[in-house]
Structure 1
Amino acid sequence: MTSGTHQEHGVQVKSRAKRRDKEESSSKLSKMSFWLKELIQYRGLFMLIFVLGIGGSFQYGFQISNMNSPSQFVKRFINDTWIHRYYQPIADNSLRLLWSFIVSSFCIGGLLGSLGSGYLASKYGKKRCQLCNNVIPIAAALLMGLSATANSFEMILIARFLYGINAGFGLNIHSQYAGEIADKKLRGFTNTSISIFVTTGKLTGQILGLREILGIESKWPLLLAFSGFWAVAQMVTLPFFPESPPYLLMEKNDKDGCTQALKQLWGDRDHQKAIDEMLQEQASRKTGQSVTVLELLREPSLRWQLYMLVALTIALQLCGINAVYFYAVEVFKAAGFPDKQIPYLAIGFGICESTSVILCSLVIDRFGRRLILLTGYAVMILSLGLLTLTISLQGTFSWMPYCSVILLFIYTLSFGTGAGGTTITINLEIFPQEARAAAMVILGVINWLGLTIIGMVFPFVVATMEQFCFLVFLFITAICGTFLYFYLPETKGKSWLQIREDFNKLNFPTQKHTEYQPSVNDICTRL
C-alpha cells in the first residue's frame, strides 16, 4: 500500500471518529434537552412538593429537635414562675414531673392527630385538611411566644399539645397527599420528599437552637414559636395548588377537576392513561367508599400489606437511631473534642442524615425500593455491631474513639439512605387509594406509641445495658430485615393493580393467580 493510500485511509478513520463523536455529543445533548423538558413539565408537582413539606412533615421534624436546646431555659422559667407565685422554688420532683408532661404532651397530641386524620381526609380532602391544620400551630406559636410575658408555664404545656396534634395530623395528611400527586416515574422521589422534610425540619431546629442564633435565654420563646412561621407560609401558598387528582376522581367523581389537576401538576398534555388506571382501581373496589381502620384490619386482601407496614414501622422506630444520637456526645468527648464544638458536630449528624435521604430520593426510582432498603439494613446491622465493639474498647486504644465517630456517620448515612428514606414510600405504595387513609392512621398510631415508649423506656435501657443496647437494636433490625427480604415485593414503576397481584399471592396462596401483563402503554418511561 502506497503512502498516499495510507494517508487517505488515516483521513477516513479520523473523519469517522469525528462523525461518531459528533453523533454521541448530539445524542447526549438530545437526552439532556429531553430531561430538562420533563423537569419543566413537572414544575407544578415540584412546587407542590415543597409547599406540602414546609407545613407537613417539616413541622414534625422541627418539633422533635427544637425543644432540646432551650430545655434548661424552660426549666429555669418554670422555677422562676413558681417562685413568683408561691414565694419558694419548685421541688425537684415537681419540676421533673412538669417537664415530663411538657415533653410527653407532644406525643399525646400527635397520637390524637393521627387518629383523626383518616376520617377527615376522606370526607373533606387533603388540601382542605392541610389548610385547616395550619391554624393549630399558629395558635400554639402565640401561646409559646406570650408564655414568658404571661408568666405561665401552662401555656407551654398547652402549646406543646397543640403542636403534637398538628404534627400527627399533618404528617399523615402530607403522606397521603404526596402519595397521590406523582406520576409513576416520580412516585419514589415524591414520597421520599416526606422523609427529606422530616430530616430538614430536625436540622433546622438544631441550627436555630445554636447560641449564635436563638439558643440563648432571652430568645427561647421565639425559638419555640417559630413553627407558626412555617404554618403561615403554607397557608398563603397552598390555595394556589389543586386537590389530589385521585381524590377528585375516585372520591368526588370529578373527572374534569382531576384532568385540570393533572395538567397543573404534570404539564399540559394527554393524561388519559393515568385517568384510566385510576378508573380501573376504582372499578376494583369492593365498596364505593374509603375503608375504615376496623375494615382494614378485617380485610383479608390487605392482610400482608399490614404485616409489611408493621415490620417497616417497627424497624424504623427500633433500629437504634435514637441510641446513636444519644451516644454521639459521649463518643465525641472520648475523641477529645471540646464541649463547645459538640453541638456543631451534632449538627453534622443532621446534615449527614438529610443528605443521605436526599440521595435516596434521587436514586430510588432507578434502583427500586427493596434493594435500597435491604442494603441500608445490612450496613446498619454491621455498623451497630462494630460500634458496640469500638465503644467498649475506646478506653483501651487512643484511636478507637475516632473509629466510633466514623461508624456513627456510616450508620447515619445508611439509615437515611435506607430505612429513613424508603419506609414511608413503600407504606404508601402497597395500599390502594381506598385504604391508604386508614393505613396511615395505623402507621401514625404505631409511630407515636413508639415515640412515647422509647421516650419512657430508652433511658433505663441505656442505663442498664450501656453500649450493649446497640445489640438489641441490631437484633430487631435483623429480624425485620429478614422478614422483608423474603416477603416484600418490589413496587417500583408498578400500578396498584400489579402491586395487588403480587400481594394476592401471599394473601390467598391457595388460589391460582393470573400474572398481570402490562401493555406497552403501561411501561414507565424512565427520566
Structure 2
Amino acid sequence: MAMSGGGDKTTFYISVLLCVFAGSFQYGYNISSVNGPAVNIKDDLYNPFESGKAVYEIGEDGSVLENPVPTCPNISSVADCAACAEEIACTSDFLLEADRALHITREDQYSYAVALFTVGGIVGSFSVKPVVSHFGRKKGQLVNMIISLGASILFVGAKHYNSHICLVVARILIGLFSGLATGICPMYIIEMSAQEDRGWIGVLNQLLITIGILVAQIVALSSTMRESWGIYMALTGVPAIIWIALMGLSYESPRYLYLEKNDATNAARVLKKVRGTDDVEDELDEMKAEHEKSLSEENMSIGALFTSKDVRWQLISIAAMMIAQQMSGINAVFFYTNKIFESAGFTNETSTKISVLIGALNVAMTFVSMSLMEKAGRRSLMIYGYGIMVVFCVLLTVALKSLHVGTWVSYVSILCVMGYIVGFAIGPGPVPWIWATEFFKQSARAAGASMGCVICWVCTFIVGKFFPIAEAKLGPYVFIFFGMVSLFAFLYCLKITPETKGKSFEEIQVYFAKLNGVEISDEEMKLADNREE
C-alpha cells in the first residue's frame, strides 16, 4: 500500500484506526448482528405462549380471540406446541391455524424492530452536518460513542427483561449511531490524511465495515446464542468503550481547526504531530489559501446544496454513486445469501457457512482495494469494479435459471456471487465514501457527506423492504435489474467522474468548477488542464 514518507506518524495512525474501529466496525457489526439470533429473539420477545398458561383460540374468520384455551403446562413455544400435537387434547387443524396466525404476528413485530435500524440510520445521516459543525469531528465521535453505549445497555435489558420496548429503542439508537458513523468516519480520516495517503486510508472505512460484518457472521455460529443473544448484540459497545478510554491519544482534524474554527495555531500544532515532522508549510499554505477563499462563504446547509451552482455536479455525482452502490444489489446479496444458496439446492447449514466465506472474501478483496487505490486510482477501480459486477449479475441470473441442468450449476452460482463481491469490494464499496469527502469544498463538506449518507440509507431501506417482493415476482431476473444499475454506474464513471488520485482538494474543486460552469482564474484553469484524464 502507498504510504507517505516523513517522520513518526504514530499519532496519525492511532487517530484514524480508533475512528474506523469504533465507528465503521460497529456499523458493519450491526448490519449483521441481528441475523444470527433472529429465532432466539422471536422466541423470547414475540412468543405468544408462556409456560403454564394458554394458547389463543382462533375464530371462524381466522382472527385470534381473547378467550384462552387451556393447554399443556410444558408448552413454551409454537415449536413445542406443534411437536406434541398428537399427545394433547387439541385438534391438529386448530394447531396449524394457531401456528399460522401467531407466526405472522411475531414475524411482523420482529420485522418492525429490525427495520427501525434503517430509520435510525436516516435520522443519523441528517444529523451528521449539525453534529460535526457544532462539536467538531473528534467530539462528534464522542457523542456517537455515548449513543452506542446506550444501545448496548438496552440490548442487554431486552434479553434480561424480555422487553420488546428495550429492543425497539436499542435498534433506533444503534441505527442513529450508524447513520452518524457513516458520515463522520470517512470525513475525519480523509481530512486527517496527507494527499498521498487519502486513497488507502479512505479504504480503511470500508475494510472495517466488512470486518464487522464478518465478525457478526462468525459470532452467529456460537452454540450459546440462545441464552446470551443480548450480550452478543451488546458487544457493539466494546469498541465505544475502547475509543472513550483512548480518546486522549487522537486529535481533532487540522482542516476543521483551520478552516472552520479559524484556529491556525492549533491546526499547525496538530498537523506537525500527525505528520511526524515540522515540515508542513506546503499543507498549511494550501489551507491558508482555501481559508482566505472561504471567508466570503458560509458553511452550506443541506438545503443550500440543492440551490448552489458551485456544487451541482459534486452533488449529482455523489447521489449517483450512492444510489448505484446500494441499488446494484450488494445488500440484497448480503441479506439474502442464505436464500440464494438454498434456491441453488444447498441446505441451510451449508448456506450459512458459505455466507461466512463470502464475508471473508469481501474482507480479503477490500485489502486488495487498499493496495491498489493509490496505484490504479479511484475512478479506474470504480470502472473495473462495476464492469465485473455487470458480468456476474448476468451470469448469476443464467445460473439460477439453469439449476435443472445439473448439480454443478449450483456451484457456478457460488462462483457468480463471489465474482460479484470481488467487483464490489475493489471499487464501488469503498470509493463513494472517499469521494463524498474529496468532491466537496470545506464549506460544503459536512452537508455533502450528510446528504450522501441520507441517500445511501434511504436506498438501503428500499432494497431491504422491496427486494423480497421483487424476488418473489421476478425470481432470478431481479439480478438483471442490479446489472443494469451497475452498467449505469460504469458509464457514469467513464464519462463524468474525475480521477482524484494525487490531486489536492483545490485541484479537484477546479475540475468541478469547469463542469459546473463557474468562473475560474487563469491559474485555476492551468490546474484543470493539467488534471489526469
Question: TM class, shorter-chain normalised?
Answer: 0.7 to 0.9
Deviation at 1:516, TM superposition (A): 4.4
Give the alignment partner of residue 48 of structure 1, picking from 2, 5, 15: 15
Amino acid at match of 1:291: M
Amino acid at match of 2:352: P
Amino acid at match of 1:391: L
Partner of 2:94: none
Partner of 1:468: 477
Q: TM-score, normalised by structure 1?
A: 0.87
Deviation at 1:337, TM superposition (A): 5.1
Rounded to whole Å, the distance in 2 between the matches of 1:85 and 1:381 is 56
Question: Does 2:457 correspond to 1:448?
Answer: yes
Amino acid at match of 1:52: C
Q: TM-score, normalised by structure 2?
A: 0.86
- 1:235-269 C-alpha deviation (Å, 9 max, x unpaired): 11122211000011111122221122112211023
Partner of 1:397: 406
Give the alignment partner of residue 37 of structure 2, picking from 48, 70, 78: 70
RMSD (Å) for aligned C-alpha atoms: 2.6
Q: 1:326 to 1:397 in 2, by over 3 A?
A: farther
Question: Does 2:145 correspond to 1:134?
Answer: yes
Describe the SS at the equivalent of 2:246. Answer: helix
Q: Write the mapping of 1:105-504 to structure 2, written as runs, cut at 5 A.
A: 105-212=116-223, 214=224, 216-285=225-294, 287-325=296-334, 328-330=337-339, 332-333=341-342, 338-504=347-513
Higher helix proportion, which one? 1
Deviation at 1:362, TM superposition (A): 1.6
Q: 1:427 to 1:93 in 2, by over 3 A?
A: same
Give the alignment partner of residue 112 of structure 2, picking from 81, 85, 101: 101
- 1:92-150 C-alpha deviation (Å, 9 max, x unpaired): 34312311221111111111111112012112201111112111111111111122222
Q: 1:37 to 1:122 in 2, by over 3 A?
A: closer
Rounded to whole Å, the distance in 2 between the matches of 1:508 and 1:226 is 50
Rounded to whole Å, the distance in 2 between the matches of 1:74 and 1:473 is 32
Amino acid at match of 2:137: K
Q: Identify which range, 376-385 or 333-342, moves more after superposition.
A: 333-342
Deviation at 1:460, TM superposition (A): 0.2
Rounded to whole Å, the distance in 1 between the matches of 2:495 and 2:523 is 21
Describe the SS at the equivalent of 2:379. Answer: helix
Describe the SS at the equivalent of 1:91. Answer: helix
Q: Identify which range, 280-289 or 270-279, moves more after superposition.
A: 280-289
Conserved? CA contact 1:387–1:408, under 8 Å: yes
Q: 1:207 to 1:512 in 2, by over 3 A?
A: same
Partner of 1:79: 46
Deviation at 1:38, TM superposition (A): 2.9
Conserved? CA contact 1:81–1:153, under 8 Å: no
Amino acid at match of 1:163: I
Conserved? CA contact 1:81–1:152, under 8 Å: no
Q: 1:85 to 1:249 in 2, by over 3 A?
A: farther
Partner of 1:38: 5
Q: 1:95 to 1:86 in 2, by over 3 A?
A: farther
Q: Identify which range, 76-85 or 244-253, moves more after superposition.
A: 76-85
Conserved? CA contact 1:361–1:421, under 8 Å: no
Q: Identity of counterpart residues, as a percentage? A: 28
Q: 1:116 to 1:328 in 2, by over 3 A?
A: closer
Rounded to whole Å, the distance in 2 between the matches of 1:370 and 1:37 is 21
- 1:29-72 C-alpha deviation (Å, 9 max, x unpaired): xxx9xx99938633322222210012212111111101001000
Deviation at 1:501, TM superposition (A): 1.4
Conserved? CA contact 1:251–1:289, under 8 Å: no
Partner of 2:24: 57
Structure 2: segments with no counterpart, 5+ residues: 57-100
Amino acid at match of 1:186: D
Q: 1:82 to 1:178 in 2, by over 3 A?
A: farther
Q: Identify which range, 470-479 or 323-332, moves more after superposition.
A: 323-332
Structure 1: segments with no counterpart, 5+ residues: 1-31
Q: 1:455 to 1:85 in 2, by over 3 A?
A: farther
Conserved? CA contact 1:81–1:151, under 8 Å: no
- 1:342-381 C-alpha deviation (Å, 9 max, x unpaired): 3222111111111111211121112111111100010110
Amino acid at match of 1:384: C
- 1:369-416 C-alpha deviation (Å, 9 max, x unpaired): 111110001011011111111111121133222222112111111110
Rounded to whole Å, the distance in 2 between the matches of 1:273 and 1:496 is 13
Misfit runs of 4+, over 6 Å: 509-513
Deviation at 1:211, TM superposition (A): 2.7
| Paired positions, count | 487
Conserved? CA contact 1:57–1:170, under 8 Å: yes
